[in-house]
Amino acid sequence: MRLVSVMLWLVASVAGAMLGGQIFDRAATVDELGPSAESKRAEALLDQWKPEGPVILAVVKDIDPYDPAIVASVTEVTRSLEGMAKVESLYNAPGGAIGKDNRSTLVRAELTDLSKQDEVVAGLRRIAAPVVLVGGEGLAKQEFAERAIRDAVIGESIALAVLAVVLVLILRRQAWIPLVAALATVTVTLLVLLGMSAFTTVNEFALNVVTLLGLGLAVDYSLLIIWRYREDGATRRATRAVLISGAAVACALLGLMVFAEPLLAAMAMGGLAAVVVATAVALTLVPALLPRRVAPMPSPGAGWERVVRFAVEKPAQKAFWSAALLVVLAVPFGFAQLHNSDARSLPRDSESRQVHEEWLHSFRQRPEPVAVVVDGDHGTEAMRDYLNRLNGLDAVSRLELRLEIPQGKTVIDLTPEFEADAPGIVRAVRGVPAPAPALVGGPAAEVVDYQDTVLRRLPLVLGVLLLTMLGLLFALTGSLLVPIKALLLNVLSLGASLGVLTMIFQDLDLTTPVLLFVFIFGLSMDYEVFLLARITEEYRRTGDNLRAIITGVTRTGPLITAAAVCLIVVFLGFLLGDLAPVREIGAGMAIAIILDVTVVRGILLPASMALLGRWNWWPGSQRSDVALPQRVNAT
């Protein structure tokens, strides 16, 4: 059976290595919001009432905007692009744009033939000027997707190289096993996603999720199995813990996939595939790769025993202060500014980002307006009253009606005094009764819709997680309180991680907190299961709660430390990427692992278990505690 298992995974891995790369070409962009969101319905009506093609911007710099040579060059390019795009510039459209430095101008090309984007871009680059930067929302999204795939490849390569060195230091001769498991997990998951792409859309960023979760879980699970095998020569207990942890993470991702908006659901789908494959690899391939005989694990030493003894002495005090620390670290997240990914998420050397920033700082006169789309004529008395109420809202500096809208329809642009006022205006407008069906759209409305959707669906996701943890951890420990406590600890860890992340990055991508919630929950479950499984074993053997805590943490601590070091290496590899959201995820996961291993598993979990005493095991066996022994031989 060992040989059969190895051969099957070898064939699947080779197939994944040869064919899985095709998924990078098939992956596509997925909207953050579904079509039922109010901002998306407003956008659909605007496209219906006044269709507009994708817009490409060219910033012409370091010139006199009225230099005859520039005028002639832009005019010639405008003529050459007829039939492909509607080109507007300072020389053929009213109110043409001149940069604030008076040494630049903006050329705007709206595509009329979508298949001619490359020709239009090439045409704009022919403008005879010292510097011509070409960009736009569509080009930025295309570059974002390309860099996301490149970041996944680079991050994975660097992480595997450094990980190999770390594993050699930890496992010596068995270091190759987690690496083989990680490679098998990633390649086979890519093959699975390739198959799924025939039936559904696979998002580019799901590939980053595959790398993060695939590498992380494969290494975690492999370490656990090797560790236990070197301790007692068997893998049964370790594989049971892996199965429970994998099932919990899979259920969490399944819940997110069902309840989330399209982008998060697509990422959850990629993560779910990675978890299932990583669990299968750990349960079948890793045991088959283990040698018949290995050197026993060395004694864990006194370090972790001193840590856990510190935690369980005066446990109420230790639990309070460690929880308070996590709460304090979480506070900055309450002031975080969440935003949609745009060109500013690209690196500074990106041409699309440079165009976007030039437009923001040199050409845009006012903040992006909030669009109110009303299915009614603006000439009625009721509509005039509605317009007056909107114009009187706080932070609205300007109200304008859009031109060239079909008769009987109204589109109102409300310009905020400052960019940060826009979400408040969106909520205020939605609270004003309209004389006809009205929808609020625009970038700020998309942010508001996304936040509201997440908050509305969060109880459902939490419910799925809680029920999953209750069922799986009850099967592991026989306790109902332990799963609830585990969820609370994960929430504290998540909040603290997001708070520290906010202090580093200030503004966060909209998807970052939710993705970190799922990832942190998943990897924290690994440590939770590994630790609780060992504590439960000892408690069932001795009936001594304190002894079980000390022995369990002492014996599992080195394993958790080793796994944490490996995972931090993987996550820090993604800090070398170009995209801000990818760096946020990598940094957030590294921060979460550090906090989880030190504060949560090192102090808070043993302190809280010591504080609860025999109630940890309710409604199962509640054997009486005995006094804290002077010394426990954890070996």
- Quick: pLDDT tens for 246-281: 888 888 788 777 767 787 788 888 888 999 999 999
What's residue 632's pLDDT? 43
Q: Which residues contact 437 (CB under 8 A, 6 or more apart)?
A: 374, 375, 376
- Alpha carbon of residue 254 to chain centroid: 15
The stretch 382-397 carries a mean pLDDT of 92
- Quick: pLDDT tens for 564-618: 888 888 787 777 777 788 788 888 988 998 998 889 988 999 999 999 888 888 8
Number of H helices, E strands in the chain: 22, 10
Lowest mean pLDDT among 76-80, 214-218, 353-357: 214-218
The stretch 325-345 carries a mean pLDDT of 85
What's residue 346's pLDDT? 84
**Which is nearest to 240 in space by CA: 445, 530, 610, 482?**
530
Q: How confident is the model at residue 627 (pLDDT cuts 50, 70, 90)?
A: very low
The pLDDT mean for the chain works out to: 85
**Which is nearest to 192 in space by CA: 414, 384, 23, 7?**
23
What's residue 298's pLDDT? 58
**Which is nearest to 245 in space by CA: 270, 287, 213?**
213
What residue type is 246 in one-letter code?
G
Q: Which residues contact 607 (CB under 8 A, 6 or more apart)?
A: 311, 312, 315, 316, 318, 319, 322
What's residue 291's pLDDT? 83
Exposure of 348 by Cβ count < 10 A (0-12 exposed, 13-18 middle, 19+ buried)?
exposed
Q: β-strand 410-416 against 370-374: which pairing, if any? A: antiparallel
Residue 4 has pLDDT above 80, yes or no: yes
Q: Which residues contact 608 (CB under 8 A, 6 or more apart)?
A: 315, 319, 485, 489
The stretch 180-185 carries a mean pLDDT of 93
The stretch 182-200 carries a mean pLDDT of 90
Q: What pTM was estimated for this model as a whole? A: 0.80
Distance CA 246, CA 220 (A): 11
What's residue 628's pLDDT? 42
Instruction: Pull the structure tokens for residue 457.
Output: 């669906």
What's residue 294's pLDDT? 64
- Quick: pLDDT tens for 363-380: 887 888 999 999 988 888
**Boundaries of every domain in the chain:** 51-135, 141-343+448-617, 369-441
Query: Which class in CATH covers the domain with range 369-441?
Result: alpha beta
- Which segments within 63-198 are labelled E, that is strand? 85-88, 104-111, 131-135
Distance CA 136, CA 110 (A): 10
Q: Which residue has the higher pLDDT, 35 or 510?
A: 35
What's residue 296's pLDDT? 63
3-state secondary structure of 319: helix
Polymer length in residues for the chain: 635
Q: What count of other Cβ atoms lies within 10 Å of the Cβ of residue 301?
A: 13
Residue 440 has pLDDT above 90, yes or no: yes
What's residue 40's pLDDT? 93
Same CATH topology for 51-135 and 369-441: the answer is yes
What's residue 325's pLDDT? 95
Q: Which residue has the higher pLDDT, 619 or 11?
A: 11
Residue 161 has pLDDT above 90, yes or no: no
**Are the CB atoms for 414 and 426 separated by under 8 Å?**
no
Neighbour-count burial for 13-34, b at 16+ CB within 10 Å, e otherwise: beebbeebeebbeebeebebbe
Inter-CA distances, 344 with 81, 361, 418, Å: 28, 13, 18
Residue at token pair 């230099």 = 67
Residue 456 has pLDDT above 90, yes or no: no
Q: Which residue has the higher pLDDT, 6 or 207?
A: 6
Inter-CA distances, 251 with 244, 271, 468, 478, 514, Å: 11, 11, 7, 20, 15
CA angle 534, 480, 592 (to 5 degrees): 60
Torsion over CA: 507, 513, 519, 525 (sign):
positive
Q: How confident is the model at residue 145 (pLDDT cuts 50, 70, 90)?
A: confident
Q: Which helix (H) or strand (E) holds 273?
A: helix 262-280
- Which segments within 6-61 are labelled E, that is strand? 55-61
Query: Which class in CATH covers the domain with range 51-135?
Result: alpha beta
What's residue 222's pLDDT? 92
Q: How confident is the model at residue 626 (pLDDT cuts 50, 70, 90)?
A: very low
The stretch 194-207 carries a mean pLDDT of 82
The stretch 159-172 carries a mean pLDDT of 84
What's residue 302's pLDDT? 64
Q: Which residue has the higher pLDDT, 120 or 144?
A: 120
- Quick: pLDDT tens for 312-327: 888 999 999 999 999 9
What's residue 257's pLDDT? 78
**Are the CB atoms for 602 and 180 separated by under 8 Å?**
no
**Which is nearest to 549 in space by CA: 382, 319, 296, 209?**
319
What's residue 41's pLDDT? 94
The stretch 48-74 carries a mean pLDDT of 90
Residue 541 phi, psi (nearest 5): -80, -35
Q: How confident is the model at residue 431 (pLDDT cuts 50, 70, 90)?
A: very high
Percent of the chain beyond pLDDT 90? 32
Distance CA 542, CA 540 (A): 6
Residue 429 has pLDDT above 90, yes or no: yes
1.20.1640.10, 3.30.70.960, 1.10.10.60, 2.40.50.90: which CATH number matches 141-343+448-617? 1.20.1640.10
Q: Which residue has the higher pLDDT, 226 or 458?
A: 226
What's residue 340's pLDDT? 72
Q: Which residue has the higher pLDDT, 316 or 516?
A: 316
Instruction: Pull the structure tokens for residue 448.
Output: 């508001």
What's residue 633's pLDDT? 45
Q: How confident is the model at residue 299 (pLDDT cuts 50, 70, 90)?
A: low
Distance CA 615, CA 613 (A): 5
CA angle 152, 161, 513 (to 5 degrees): 40
